Amino acid sequence: MAVKDSSRLRIGMIGAGGVAARHAQVLTGFPDARVVAIGDLDAARATALADTCGAKAYADPGKMLDDEKPDAVYICVPPFAHGLPELACVSRGIPFFVEKPLSVELAVAEQIEAAVRDAGLITATGYHWRYSDIVTEAAQILAEHCPRVVIGSWLDKVPPVPWWVQRDRSGGQVVEQLTHVLDLLRALVGEVQSVQASSSRAPRPEHPDSDIDDVTVATLQMVEGALGTLTASSLLRHKHRAGLEIIADGLALDLTETELRISTNTSPVTRFPGNDPKFDVDRAFVDAVSGRGDDVRAPYAEALQTHRLGLAIAESAATGRPVSLTPGRQPDPTQR
Ligand SMILES: NC(=O)c1ccc[n+]([C@@H]2O[C@H](COP(=O)([O-])OP(=O)(O)OC[C@H]3O[C@@H](n4cnc5c(N)ncnc54)[C@H](O)[C@@H]3O)[C@@H](O)[C@H]2O)c1
């Protein structure tokens, strides 16, 4: 499809790290979009990414928005840096895609959600697993089988970003990483009613600055009656597993980002994704902003529900008390 430059969606990016580079690569492959500007407080990072996609670099994201007036913005900052970038987009009426997790503090995400709702803005979030065709297939199977038990896990290494091991910067592993599994759980099995979690940590010489738990376990009660367990650990030197098992009467589904195993007897059937969800999540956002589609599967308000679940697990682990997620419940402000 040949598209005139002037009719291509002009995209700005705030944050120029690892995930921004991934989105920029996908977006520059779209014939109907182009990345025009990159804003990062670290000017060298902004320039390095801008150079890969013919964009202009800014060390001041607000100036980028004012000078470039992009049609849409990708917000790819670490968890602690949310708030100002989103509200800067809302006040200028610019639709945005924001990476998970939405924030460290619940109040920040709630303020953004209210502002987005008032402005009627198109938003999307980085919960790309929802676009995988094996997730769609799992949902179709579950429409015929009532889930009774769920087992979610994320057993991995510490990612190579400095902010990840600091609780006030990342929110910890459940909020930052397990959140993809929590979102999958909500998408496939429904809402969680209550959680009870425990966590622990031990000094790790290779991460002297770490103050996050390196093991968290939780039990869940789902609104529809299913029970569940979750386990997260960053103790490994490799990614061992990240996924969700769902058990119904006579059926076990084992879902990861790379495969779906369907077992009704001792000979499971394995399916592999036939699409690239990391491509499709960007395609859906660009189509929505361009008025050509309506397939944003996790807009901001939806992602906020997943974020509330992650924060509830973290709160329960911190207090040792069960946390209810029933509507209207006010979270414990001392644990935000
Ligand atoms: N959906 C996914 O699969 C996926 C994958 C990787 C990362 N992520 C998420 O993306 C986010 C960023 O991760 P990353 O790996 O790119 O981190 P990173 O540390 O590599 O990059 C973050 C960048 O943001 C910049 N920054 C910080 N505060 C800023 C601000 N206020 N304004 C502008 N720029 C600012 C930093 O200078 C840095 O360049 C994290 O929340 C992470 O969880 C999502």
Q: What is the pLDDT along the chain (336 residues), one digit of tens a residue?
A: 445 667 899 999 999 999 999 999 999 999 999 999 999 999 999 999 999 999 999 999 999 999 999 999 999 999 999 999 999 999 999 999 999 999 999 999 999 999 999 999 999 999 999 999 999 999 999 999 999 999 999 999 999 999 999 999 999 999 999 999 999 999 999 999 999 999 999 988 999 999 999 999 999 999 999 999 999 999 999 999 999 999 999 999 999 999 999 999 999 999 999 999 999 999 999 999 999 999 999 999 999 999 999 999 999 999 999 999 976 554 454 443
Considering the four listed CATH numbers 3.30.360.10, 3.40.109.10, 3.30.460.20, 3.40.640.10, the one that applies to the domain covering 130-272+307-335 is 3.30.360.10
Q: Whose CA is nearest to atom 1 of ligand 1?
A: 126
- Ligand 1 contacts CB of residue 17 (under 6 A): yes
Query: Which ligand 1 atom minimizes the distance to the CA of 126?
Result: 1
Q: Is 40 in the pocket of ligand 1 (CB under 6 A)?
A: yes
Q: Ligand 1 centre from 314 Cα, in Å?
A: 21
The CA–CA distances, whole Å, from 121 to 56, 72, 91, 316 equal: 25, 11, 10, 33
Tokens for 336, please give them. Answer: 């935000």
Q: Could you say which architecture CATH assigns to the domain 5-128+279-297?
A: 3-Layer(aba) Sandwich (3.40)
**Gap from CA of 237 to ligand 1 centroid (Å):** 22
Question: For the chain, what is the radius of gyration of the CA atoms?
Answer: 20
Tell me if 162 CB under 6 Å of ligand 1: no
- Span(s) in the chain for CATH 3.30.360.10: 130-272+307-335
Residue 176 Cβ contacting ligand 1 at under 6 Å: yes
H or E element, residue 57: strand 56-58
Angle at 24 between CA 22 and CA 25, to 5 degrees: 65
State which of 13, 14, 19 you would mutate to test the pocket of ligand 1, scoring each by most atoms of that ligand within 8 A of its C-beta: 19
For CATH 3.40.50.720, the residue range(s) in the chain are 5-128+279-297
18 Cβ below 6 A of ligand 1: yes
